[in-house]
Amino acid sequence: MLIKLLRIMQIILILAISLIATQFSRGDELVIEIDNPKFSEKGLNDKVYEIKAKKGLKTDNELKLFIIEGKFKTVENGKWIYLEAEKGNFSQTNNLIELESNIIFYTDDGEKIQSNYATFDMNENIIKLKENVSHESIEGLILSNSSLILNNFNKIIYTGNVETTIKN
């Protein structure tokens, strides 16, 4: 009788462990590490951009990026805008990049826009900057809580507390 009870307990324990292992394996997403991921667009409408990273972690529809570099060509005057950020997240379904930590957009002309957080909607060509936004150029310095970059860097809107210093 005791042996039958021990065998039943052993079977119940094995079933319980199997059930728990199955539940944990269903919750785990497959994560693929990618070295030097890169994506770009060179369209007929002169829309040109290239974004690359040192490393990426790919899940279903998202790609986490680390040490990001990018460049964009403006349609109006053909000026190149460069991008650097420590980390980000690329959503393939939305064609949206979220950037975090030490974000810098800059040009060969010495113009520099920095923030702590940014999103780049590649479909609409809109960049939203948040947290400690600063825009430095030869004309001066603009500090704001947030900023919106439209029309391929031809229109910049500053919101929140905005402070401007103009150089002579």
pLDDT digits (tens, 9 = 90+) for 8-59: 666 676 766 665 655 554 455 677 777 888 877 765 555 677 888 888 888 7
Same domain? For 25 and 39 the reply is no
129 has a pLDDT exceeding 90: yes
Domain of residue 8 covers 1-30
The maximal CA–CA distance of the chain, rounded, in angstroms, is 97
| Strands 140-150 and 163-166, bridge-based pairing | antiparallel
> What would you report as the CA-atom Rg of the chain, rounded to the nearest whole angstrom?
24
pTM equals 0.71
Find the range with the poorest average confidence among 11-25, 28-42, 70-84, 94-108.
Answer: 11-25
160 has a pLDDT exceeding 60: yes
Bridge partners, residue 23, by sequence: none
Report the chain's mean pLDDT, rounded to a whole number.
Answer: 80
Segment 46-74 shows an average pLDDT of 81
Same domain? For 14 and 54 the reply is no
Same domain? For 68 and 36 the reply is yes
User: How many domains does one find in the chain?
Assistant: 2
Same domain? For 158 and 79 the reply is yes
Please, are residues 149 and 135 in contact by the beta-carbon 8 Å criterion? no
Please, are residues 102 and 118 in contact by the beta-carbon 8 Å criterion? no
Same domain? For 79 and 155 the reply is yes
Long-range contacts, 122-131 (Cβ 8 Å, 24+): 122/41, 122/49, 122/95, 122/96, 122/97, 123/94, 123/95, 125/47, 125/150, 125/151, 125/152, 126/150, 129/103
- Show the DSSP H helices in the chain as ranges: 2-27
Give the span between the Cα atoms of 164 and 135, in whole angstroms: 9
